[in-house]
Amino acid sequence: MRRIVTAITAAALALSLVGTATVDAAVPGYDSAYAGESAFLTLAPGETGMFTVFFANTGTVTWVKGSATQVDLAACLEDKVTCNAQDTTEAPFNSSWLSATRYTTQTQTTIAPGQIGTFTYSVRVPTAAAVGTYRFNGALVLSATGADIHNEGYYQDVRVTAAAAAAVITSIAPTSGGSQGGTTLTITGTGFVCTPAFPTVNVGATAATVTSCGPTSIVATVPAGTVGTANVTVTNAGAPASNAATFTYVDTTRPSFASVTVGGNLATLTFSEPVCRTAAFAATDYTITVNGTSVAAVGDSAPTCNAAASNGVTSFTVTLATPTVTGDTVAVTLTATGAAKLEDSVGNEATAQTRTATATAGETTRPTLAGATGTGGSSVITLTFSEPVYCADALEAGDVTVTAGAVTIASTATNTCPATAGAAATSFTVTLASPLAAATAYTVTLTAGANETQDIVGNDITSPATITLTTPAPDTTAPLLADTRLNANLVTTNLADPGDQFTVTFNEPLGQSSPLTSSSTITIQDSDGTVAVITCGGAATNSATCTLNAAMTVLTVTLSGAAPTITSPGSAPLIQVTATGPTITGTAGITDVAGNAPNLAGSADVLINTE
pLDDT tens digit sequence for 36-81 = 999 999 998 888 999 999 999 999 999 999 999 999 999 999 999 9
pLDDT at 22: 36
In tens, the pLDDT along 421-459 reads: 878 899 999 999 999 999 999 999 999 998 899 998 889
Which top CATH class is 257-358?
Answer: mainly beta
Rounded Cα distance between 147 and 508, Å, is: 85
Residues of 586-605 as b/e, b for ≥16 C-beta within 10 angstroms?
ebebbbbebebebebeebeb
Q: Which helix (H) or strand (E) holds 158?
A: strand 154-160
In tens, the pLDDT along 521-546 reads: 999 999 999 999 999 986 666 679 99
- Give residue 552's Cα distance to chain centre: 33
In tens, the pLDDT along 306-321 reads: 999 999 999 999 999 9
* Domain covering 168-250 assigned CATH 2.60.40.10 in the classification: yes
Q: Residue 30 corresponds to which amino acid?
A: Y
Q: Is the pTM of this model over 0.85?
A: no
In tens, the pLDDT along 316-337 reads: 999 999 999 999 999 999 999 9
CB-facing half-sphere around the CA of 467: CA atoms within 13 A: 20
CB-facing half-sphere around the CA of 321: CA atoms within 13 A: 12
Percentage helix, strand, coil for the chain under 3-state DSSP, each rounded to 5: 5, 45, 50
pLDDT at 65: 97
Q: Residue 291 corresponds to which amino acid?
A: N
Rounded Cα distance between 146 and 141, Å, is: 5
Task: Report yes or no: 533 and 565 within 8 Å, Cβ to Cβ.
Answer: yes
Strand partners, 576: 494
pLDDT at 18: 36
Query: Residues with Cβ < 8 Å from 438, sequence gap 6 or more?
Result: 375, 376, 377, 471, 472, 473, 474
Architecture in CATH for domain 369-470: Sandwich (2.60)
Other C-beta atoms lying within 10 Å of the C-beta of residue 48: 14
Pairing of strands 407-415, 425-432: antiparallel
pLDDT at 16: 38
Pairing of strands 154-160, 41-43: parallel
In tens, the pLDDT along 134-162 reads: 999 999 999 999 999 999 999 999 999 88
In tens, the pLDDT along 158-204 reads: 999 887 789 999 999 999 999 999 999 999 999 999 988 899 999 99
- Give residue 530's Cα distance to chain centre: 59
Q: What is the CATH number of domain 10-160?
A: 2.60.40.10
Residues of the chain with CATH 2.60.40.1220: 257-358, 369-470
Query: What's the chain's average pLDDT?
Result: 91
pLDDT at 561: 74
Residues of the chain with CATH 2.60.40.10: 10-160, 168-250
pLDDT at 346: 93
pLDDT at 26: 67
Distance between first and last Cα of the chain: 91
Rounded Cα distance between 563 and 542, Å, is: 6
Tell me the torsion sign for CA atoms 334, 336, 340, 345: positive
pLDDT at 539: 61
pLDDT at 273: 97
